[in-house]
Amino acid sequence: MKYTSNHNFKLPAPSDTIDVEVLNENFTNIDALIKTLESAKADKNSPSFTGTPKSPTPPSSDISTRIATTAFVQNLVQAVDKKISELVSSTLDSTYAMLLFDKDNISTCSNIDSFGITYSQYQNGTYKTDIVQVGNNAQLPNKSNAPVFLVSWAAESGDESEIYNVQAVIYPDGTVYGRHRYLWSISSGIVSKLSWNGWSTDNNYIYYNPKDHFVKE
């Protein structure tokens, strides 16, 4: 009687007399082999791999649901790093460049005159807004073809006699303009009619290191 070359299963010839036990032994061995293979394979649905499985690396332009290999991720990180370096090394201010790179994740404000923090919000613990893109050039101190970013925050004066709300906008070259409005003062209480004063580039006037407020947390 012949045997298979891989797993030594019995291969009766046409002239052999077959004992049922021989067939049962073959089937038992085949069943055990199938069970071993099934227990060793990864499930098709939510597989869990061990060892070092490999996958083809998709091209950098791929936006499908293919597996992103470590090589794909490294290439992407290097491309992002190169893009940031190009932006920073150009005429763009580094703080502005980081915002520009992330602008698709930054919402737009179409009316900056109404963008800010109220006294009630300040009392409830809101001291700063999210950074937004300015959607209306007409309200800016200087018009710009490039995106301009805006942030607003509230604070107390040094002697705690006033609470004010500040707005600041940043331009591509890093220039920051600011303006403020009073929310409360010790002399008149809560200000009912809020009004912004004029824009200025004086850092002290804008209340200390205004560019720091454009660093996303």
Q: What pLDDT is attached to residue 208?
A: 66
- Phi, psi at residue 119, to the nearest 5°? -60, -40
Q: State the pLDDT confidence band at 163, using cuts at 50, 70 and 90.
A: very high
Cα–Cα nearest to 122, from 214, 179, 170, 194: 194
Cα–Cα nearest to 127, from 166, 93, 97, 98: 166
Helix (H, G, I), strand (E, B) or coil at 31: helix
Q: State the pLDDT confidence band at 147, using cuts at 50, 70 and 90.
A: very high
Distance separating alpha carbons of residues 129 and 186, to the nearest angstrom = 25
Distance separating alpha carbons of residues 182 and 192, to the nearest angstrom = 10
pLDDT digits (tens, 9 = 90+) for 73-132: 898 888 887 776 665 555 689 899 999 999 999 999 999 999 999 999 999 999 999 999
Taking the CA atoms of 122, 125, 128 and 132 in sequence, report the sign of the dihedral they define.
negative
pTM of this prediction exceeds 0.75: no
Task: Among 48-62, 124-138, 201-215, name the one with the lowest average pLDDT.
Answer: 201-215
- Which region holds residue 70: left if phi is over 0, alpha if psi is between -120 and 50, else beta? alpha
Higher pLDDT, 124 or 207: 124
